[in-house]
Amino acid sequence: MSQFLICCLLINILSTAAEAAEAQPGSKAPRLGLLTWLAPPSSSSPTLFDETLRQLGYVEGRNITVERRYANGDVARMPELARDLMRHSPDVIFAQSYPGALAAKQVTSNIPIVIIGAGDPVATGLVKSFAHPGGNITGVSALETELSGKRVELLKEAFPKLRSVAVLWNAADPGMTHKFGELHRAAQVFGMAVLPSGVREPRDFETVYNDILRKRPDSLFVITDPLAEFNRKQILGLAAKGRFPGMYETSSYVDAGGLMSYGPNIRETFQRAFQHVDRILKGAKPAELPIIQPTKFELVINLTTAKQIGLTVPDSVLARADRVIR
């Protein structure tokens, strides 16, 4: 047989094998849908979402396809984005925030949904229970009750003379309103009066800020959600203007000039959520995967901010900090 004929035969065999491989069940790359309140990345650098995917062995364009939908801070667009996402038939939807989780739940009862940053999913009715969520939703939820008490305790320990706290939260978000209720109860346990400072849209901030400055509470507590995140600069400006010791739920506020934060390590929380994504893509059913909770928490304190507003953080509190900004 001539070399030409041998080459032709080999090409035919390889072509047939490739076609057969493509036809094998399960050979198609899974499709992951991202539904988030965030803005699209401003640079080509990998986001935490992409980094976490890669850690589990998924490379977009090679062994997974990702459909991304960004609300850019406008959570009212979540239902529209969720419907658009469904047109691409994702195998799993990764939904951030309570509005994102709710929007995803409203468009499908079959496609698995993994949630993160959605508050207490049992209290808001997203799932039946933490151990047995049922339906098509699972994911990660922070220890809302315990964390509320711990944050107030740390604030009070750092500044024992505090007698009142203004709590800024998105009153239009049931998940965040539930967190406010838990925080209110925790503050009362520590003998602190609460000034409820709920906002529903960006234009509410100015009125609420003026109310806080007029009533002069001893401290400020911010419950984090998309509305707060997209107004972070103004919130930190309020804390600086009123010289309020502020407690925040995520370290991003402290990095940007806030006084102190206590909450789950964001990287670890993403990793735990994506472990559920990975399990589902490998055949697990969301109804059988419990809502998991973070295991790594961090206290971050900004001493530069403390100095600017004339406060001294006790050594006993500094010694417990995971990170101190000087």
Q: Are residues 205 and 318 in the same domain?
A: yes
Q: What is the CATH number of the domain that holds 65?
A: 3.40.50.2300
Split into its structural domains, the chain has a count of 2
Considering the domain boundaries, does residue 15 fall inside one? Answer: no
Determine the residue type at 149. G
Considering the domain boundaries, does residue 181 fall inside one? Answer: yes
Mean pLDDT of the chain: 91
Q: Are residues 259 and 275 in the same domain?
A: no
Considering the domain boundaries, does residue 16 fall inside one? Answer: no
Which H or E element spans position 237?
Answer: helix 232-242
Q: Are residues 137 and 98 in the same domain?
A: yes
Q: Are residues 94 and 239 in the same domain?
A: no
Whether 13 shows a pLDDT value over 60: the answer reads: no
Residue 46's pLDDT is 87
Q: Are residues 33 and 171 in the same domain?
A: no
Q: Are residues 54 and 130 in the same domain?
A: yes
Length of the chain, in residues: 326
Q: Are residues 122 and 77 in the same domain?
A: yes
Q: Are residues 137 and 149 in the same domain?
A: no
Distance between CA atoms of residues 204 and 182, nearest Å? 23
Per-residue pLDDT tens digits for 51-105: 999 999 999 999 999 999 999 999 999 999 999 999 999 999 999 999 999 999 9
Considering the domain boundaries, does residue 182 fall inside one? Answer: yes
Considering the domain boundaries, does residue 176 fall inside one? Answer: yes
Q: Are residues 220 and 157 in the same domain?
A: yes
Q: What percent of the chain has pLDDT over 90?
A: 87
Residue 143's pLDDT is 77
Can you give the pTM of this predicted structure?
0.87
Give 5's contacts (C-beta < 8 A, 6+ positions apart). none
Q: Are residues 64 and 211 in the same domain?
A: no
Q: What percent of the chain has pLDDT over 70?
A: 91
Range with the poorest average pLDDT among 21-35, 165-179, 197-211, 230-244: 21-35
Whether 25 shows a pLDDT value over 70: the answer reads: no
Give 95's contacts (C-beta < 8 A, 6+ positions apart). 35, 36, 101, 103, 104, 113, 114, 115, 116, 118, 139
Considering the domain boundaries, does residue 175 fall inside one? Answer: yes
Which H or E element spans position 96?
Answer: strand 92-96
Per-residue pLDDT tens digits for 215-254: 999 999 999 999 999 999 999 999 999 999 999 999 999 9
Q: Are residues 95 and 153 in the same domain?
A: no
Could you list the residue range(s) of the whole structural domain that residue 92 is in?
28-141+266-288
Considering the domain boundaries, does residue 22 fall inside one? Answer: no
Whether 27 shows a pLDDT value over 70: the answer reads: no
Per-residue pLDDT tens digits for 140-188: 998 776 799 999 999 999 999 999 999 999 999 998 999 999 999 999 9
Fill in the DSSP letter of residue 311. -
